[in-house]
Structure 1
Amino acid sequence: MNQTCDVPVLIVGAGPVGATLANLLGVYGVGALLIDRSPAILEYPRAVGLDDEAMRTFQAAGVADAMLKDMIQNVPMRMYGAKKQCFAEILPATREFGWYRRNLFSQPLGEQALRAGLARFPHVAVELGVELTAVEQDAAGVTATLRDAAGAERTVRAAYLLAADGGRSTVREKLLKLPFGGQTHSHKWVVIECDQDPLDAPYTALHCEPARPYVCLKLPYGLRRWEFMLFDGEDEQQVLDPAKVAELLAPHVPDPARLNVIRARVYTHHSRIAGSFVVGRICLAGDAAHLTPPWIGQGLNAGLRDACNLAWKAAWIVQGRLKPEALQSYHAERHAHARAMIDLADKFGAVLSLRNRWLAALRDAFFTSIRGVPVVRDYVLQMKFKPMPRYRDGVVQDSGLAARDQRVGRMFIQPLVEPGGGAPVRLDDALGPGFALLMGAPGQPLPAELAGRLELLSCRLAVAALPRSGPAPGVLPDVPPGMLLLEDTENALHRWLAAAHADWVLLRPDRYVAAAGRRADMIAALERFVAAFVPQAGAARAAEARVPSALEAA
């Protein structure tokens, strides 16, 4: 007999994207049920790279430290040409978002850490070995039919369904029947992992050799991975035979017979994107929404951007803090950027996997030549080619700054700050998981009605002061009552505001700039923002306390 239960958010798929969504909803205080048809974490060789944006998302979810325990940070990437010479080494120096840009991990270990993090939240449940078989939605919610491993079915009523159920998404393919446009690449790749790493090469290497392009990289705990392109006529089953694996590895290790190969699997590269990321009350995230070739390491990172963008919107809507129509902004903000990352990966892969020797020689000559041109060299070696999201349509407001400086709709910096004269912490930890209104010193009191409306957004009010700008040692500058003083120890907030010609900035929970402007325009601009995005009915529903900062929670 079917049983019906209610949950604010149902998440389908407990991989890294789904588990991150669940952790974020846990932090935001929203009830969720996370299901996955697999009873255990898959041990296939999968994603290995996490960028600074991903780490900032884990920070917001309260799992960054747990992820770091099994991670190698700040890993360089080298590119080798047809003659085996290194023509580029990418090691970005910037940490503008608070983290290194290139970090390596083992996905199964990362998934363990993400799932362990969910134990913190009594309002988040996890059910493994449970699959979604049917879904219907109406104006008030979603009705999902779930089936467990024993075949028993039940229905779950949820306000929203977030589908992170992978590249063969049941939600996208079978239930919503959405188009998944793009291409499947002709060449497959075999991925091989061994333990007891036989090489002294603590970096990721892209070997652009026309004879057989391949990737070689070091992973945590003595693991080494190779990824080899397969050619037409090579059978994907035969290539996994131990003798063939040894043949592939023979040119690259002293004695392939001594390797302990623990994983080998053939993968197909896809460049695909769903027609829409939002259908009513159902949203797609991660591989369910888009598939990216691995050349620039952005497949999982793009999915984590989805989670960071989607989780707070679903949470704020469920809590009555954000107008329900704002959910559509998830598609508006994420679809175009996901498409741009796919296009970049396609171009990068086409250049690095050339099999024509003459074209490969021209490529190598180009990369060698740019070493003497600092602007071009830094564009490549500092990964400035990676397009950063800039949201023009969505939960953002053109307050007069965007047209001039284009900072509205972009991710905000994350320097170290000293909150209330305390020890240095990352900015996000000081501000907490909600919105934040950050003003340059000396700050400005807000009218009571506007302050109340911002309270509905769970908005922290903070003032950034220049370091050591108090009147005497140990004496802090004065700030308006109810506002948090942040000493800008790195002078980074001051420089950002000065460059933007701004006195204040409104930050979303995902730390994108929602609005910014001059002091004289602040009250009117903030009133326009809350009028556009905060429901009037929220005043009755949001008697809940503001989401506390990490410092307060501690």
Structure 2
Amino acid sequence: MTGRVIVVGAGPTGVAVATLLASYGVEVLVLERWAEVYSQPRAVHLDDEVYRILGWVGVAREFARISRPTLGLRLVDGQHRTIAEFRRHERTGRHGYPEANLFDQPDLEVLLRANLANCPSVTFQSDVEVTAVRQLTADAVQVDLHDRTTGQVETLTASYVLGCDGANSLVRRAIGARFRDLGFDQRWLVVDLDIDQELGHWDGVHQLCDTGRAATYLRVGARRHRWEFRLADDEDQEDFRTPGALRSIIGPWLRAADDDRIDIVRVASYTFRAQVADRWRDRRIFLLGDAAHLTPPFIGQGLGAGMRDAANLSWKLAGVLDARLPEQVLDTYQQERRPHAIHMIRLAKAVGAIMTNGGRTGDVLRRLIAPRLSLVPGLAARVLSSETPRLTRTGLVRRSRWSGGVVGTLCANAPVGIEQRLDDHAAGRFALLTTQHLTAFQRAEAVALGVVVLETKPRDRLHHWLTQGRRTSALIRPDSIVMLAADTVDDVLLAASAVIRRRRLVAVP
């Protein structure tokens, strides 16, 4: 492994991509402006696809202790009467984790940073401010930084720089990228309270569908509760600083609560926007997370989008650094992630509009239509589904009219054997799934390419998945995206050999 990667920003996206790169032995330097984890809560939700990434990073078990699965979604009208409810009944989804999970972002960030101690190739440096990033030569990037503690100024070089430095990204400005506005700009009040008392509410997400005061409520932890209210044009967060002012909007949820058992954690206004950078890369400099995209909160995918960026780019960059993969695979990062991010942003906008727009007419229609939604076959499953769209066709997503609908999707982390799942065998590596028995020559070819082989059995879910798609074999990428589905093992190995150089890839535990 040659070269060093500098990650600018140690939020969840930055630490995740650093950890994933380290799993391949890449030398990584993480630079963070602040001395400590930002203590205020922000993101509170992630789905089972992102939970799976936490498993690859190595903190899934710890995350289970600081998070809580949510039961589903309840729509209520302006009088807090339930007009529709979509309830989850399964404990885990197709990836082996709960499909919707609530947590405090500071708790997650503490976990992720602590886990860096298990990554000897990662150096973490906090309380330093990156002041400039520039492409120095064809194969080197220069980073200027200022140590906020000592005052020292330093210049570093790296093979690649990853900008994970948030919505006001210096790295984005450095490469001349600009946000494209996708037409959403709303001011909302976010309220986090610590309540040492049971409120007796249904333990799922509550969406107040009222154009007079659209709101979302959810219980994040044992004591912490989150509300989000859309602000009127003449309102500001200062109008709701006192307990009495908060009671004026939160009162219906707090009827059973005593004021002396309520602590205000945060009251802040945010402008929710829908934006995506026009480009995510300049040669050896990349953008990830909020530096590349901003998502309205209605489907809880803001943090998840950055984690998906990390999962998509890390194995490609590690492969290029190790000469296992051609440099051209890095072109697929923006090709794959940008359309996916735009789709999720537009979905969030649509969900927000359906729940809150339309004035009083919209409120009436929701009261009339929502109670009947449960009668629509399959709708509840669709509303609660955490499955995101498949990726667009690229050099690493070989879709064709004969490949079926699975190519470009995230392969389920299905059980393999009695106590293991797909990720226990293949996480971080290419995998060949097949209903066929490999010949000695085919198996040797797979080993030479560093491809894990899993011969499925008739009762396996993955066997059923292959046969249902009328295919015998599939090539799964290191990020578990289905790259190719084919009729024969030879077709899969041929496709793999066109991308992977014949050196075995072994992820460092």
Give the TM-score, by structure 2 length: 0.92
Offset at residue 237 of structure 1 (A): 2.8
**One-letter amino acid of the structure 2 residue matched with residue 329 of structure 1:** T
CA gap 1:438/1:446 in 2 versus in 1, 3 angstroms: farther
3-state DSSP of counterpart to 2:479: coil
Aligned length: 500
Aligned residue number for residue 463 of structure 1: 455
Confirm whether residue 20 of structure 1 aligns to residue 34 of structure 2.
no
**One-letter amino acid of the structure 2 residue matched with residue 390 of structure 1:** L
Aligned residue number for residue 162 of structure 2: 162
Confirm whether residue 317 of structure 1 aligns to residue 320 of structure 2.
yes
CA gap 1:326/1:239 in 2 versus in 1, 3 angstroms: same
User: Which of these residues, 444, 456, 469, is aligned with residue 439 of structure 2?
Assistant: 444
3-state DSSP of counterpart to 1:122: coil
Offset at residue 414 of structure 1 (A): 1.5
CA gap 1:432/1:350 in 2 versus in 1, 3 angstroms: closer
Mapping for residues 335-484 of structure 1, pairs under 5 Å: 335-354=338-357, 356-380=359-383, 382-383=384-385, 387-398=388-399, 403-418=402-417, 423-447=418-442, 450-451=445-446, 453-455=448-450, 459-466=451-458
Q: Is the 8 A contact 1:293 1:299 kept in 2?
A: yes
Confirm whether residue 546 of structure 1 aligns to residue 506 of structure 2.
yes
Aligned residue number for residue 46 of structure 2: 50
**One-letter amino acid of the structure 1 residue matched with residue 475 of structure 2:** L
User: Which of these residues, 98, 115, 126, is aligned with residue 113 of structure 2?
Assistant: 115
3-state DSSP of counterpart to 1:349: helix
Aligned residue number for residue 141 of structure 2: 142
User: Which of these residues, 465, 469, 477, is aligned with residue 500 of structure 1?
Assistant: 469
Q: Is the 8 A contact 1:49 1:105 kept in 2?
A: yes
Mapping for residues 157-306 of structure 1, pairs under 5 Å: 157-173=157-173, 175-182=174-181, 183=183, 185-201=185-201, 202-254=203-255, 255=257, 257-258=259-260, 259-306=262-309
> 1: distance between equivalents of 2:153 and 2:218?
44
3-state DSSP of counterpart to 1:199: coil
Aligned residue number for residue 476 of structure 1: none
Deviations 1:413-437 (A, max 9, x none): 111122xxxx511210122421111
Aligned residue number for residue 326 of structure 1: 329
Structure 1 residues 31-40 or 445-454, which shifts more? 445-454
Aligned residue number for residue 478 of structure 2: 509
> 2: distance between equivalents of 1:228 and 1:256?
22
Q: Is the 8 A contact 1:79 1:207 kept in 2?
A: yes
**One-letter amino acid of the structure 2 residue matched with residue 139 of structure 1:** A
> 2: distance between equivalents of 1:121 and 1:355?
51
Q: Is the 8 A contact 1:9 1:160 kept in 2?
A: yes
Offset at residue 25 of structure 1 (A): 1.3
3-state DSSP of counterpart to 1:410: coil
Q: Is the 8 A contact 1:84 1:209 kept in 2?
A: no
**One-letter amino acid of the structure 2 residue matched with residue 221 of structure 1:** A
**One-letter amino acid of the structure 2 residue matched with residue 534 of structure 1:** I
3-state DSSP of counterpart to 1:37: coil
Deviations 1:193-242 (A, max 9, x none): 22325412222111112331211111123111111221111133333344
> 2: distance between equivalents of 1:298 and 1:170?
23
CA gap 1:72/1:190 in 2 versus in 1, 3 angstroms: closer
Q: Is the 8 A contact 1:249 1:256 kept in 2?
A: no
Q: Is the 8 A contact 1:197 1:224 kept in 2?
A: no
Q: Is the 8 A contact 1:184 1:268 kept in 2?
A: no
> 1: distance between equivalents of 2:443 and 2:360?
70
Offset at residue 524 of structure 1 (A): 4.4
> 1: distance between equivalents of 2:325 and 2:392?
18
Confirm whether residue 124 of structure 1 aligns to residue 130 of structure 2.
no
C-alpha root-mean-square deviation of aligned residues, in Å? 2.3
Offset at residue 369 of structure 1 (A): 2.1
Q: Is the 8 A contact 1:10 1:160 kept in 2?
A: yes
CA gap 1:273/1:545 in 2 versus in 1, 3 angstroms: closer
3-state DSSP of counterpart to 1:147: strand
CA gap 1:197/1:311 in 2 versus in 1, 3 angstroms: farther
> 2: distance between equivalents of 1:88 and 1:383?
17
Offset at residue 378 of structure 1 (A): 3.7
**One-letter amino acid of the structure 1 residue matched with residue 328 of structure 2:** E
Offset at residue 67 of structure 1 (A): 1.1
CA gap 1:432/1:176 in 2 versus in 1, 3 angstroms: closer
Offset at residue 117 of structure 1 (A): 0.9
Deviations 1:245-285 (A, max 9, x none): 34333333125633211222211101000001222111111
CA gap 1:63/1:54 in 2 versus in 1, 3 angstroms: same
Structure 1 residues 164-173 or 190-199, which shifts more? 190-199
> 1: distance between equivalents of 2:321 and 2:432?
22
Q: Is the 8 A contact 1:296 1:345 kept in 2?
A: yes
3-state DSSP of counterpart to 1:465: coil
Unpaired segments ≥5 residues, structure 2? none
Deviations 1:129-166 (A, max 9, x none): 11211111131121111211132121221111111111
3-state DSSP of counterpart to 2:74: strand
Offset at residue 189 of structure 1 (A): 2.4
Mapping for residues 479-490 of structure 1, pairs under 5 Å: none
Offset at residue 390 of structure 1 (A): 2.5
Q: Is the 8 A contact 1:7 1:156 kept in 2?
A: no
Aligned residue number for residue 534 of structure 1: 500
Offset at residue 121 of structure 1 (A): 1.1
Structure 1 residues 297-306 or 84-93, which shifts more? 84-93
Aligned residue number for residue 488 of structure 1: none
Q: Is the 8 A contact 1:438 1:464 kept in 2?
A: yes
Q: Is the 8 A contact 1:7 1:33 kept in 2?
A: no
> 2: distance between equivalents of 1:91 and 1:508?
33
3-state DSSP of counterpart to 1:320: coil
Provide the identity percentage: 32
Q: Is the 8 A contact 1:317 1:324 kept in 2?
A: yes
**One-letter amino acid of the structure 2 residue matched with residue 178 of structure 1:** A
Deviations 1:262-319 (A, max 9, x none): 2222111010000012221111111111000100111111111111111111111111
**One-letter amino acid of the structure 2 residue matched with residue 152 of structure 1:** Q
Aligned residue number for residue 472 of structure 1: none
> 2: distance between equivalents of 1:397 and 1:390?
10
Offset at residue 118 of structure 1 (A): 0.7
Offset at residue 243 of structure 1 (A): 4.0
Offset at residue 441 of structure 1 (A): 4.3
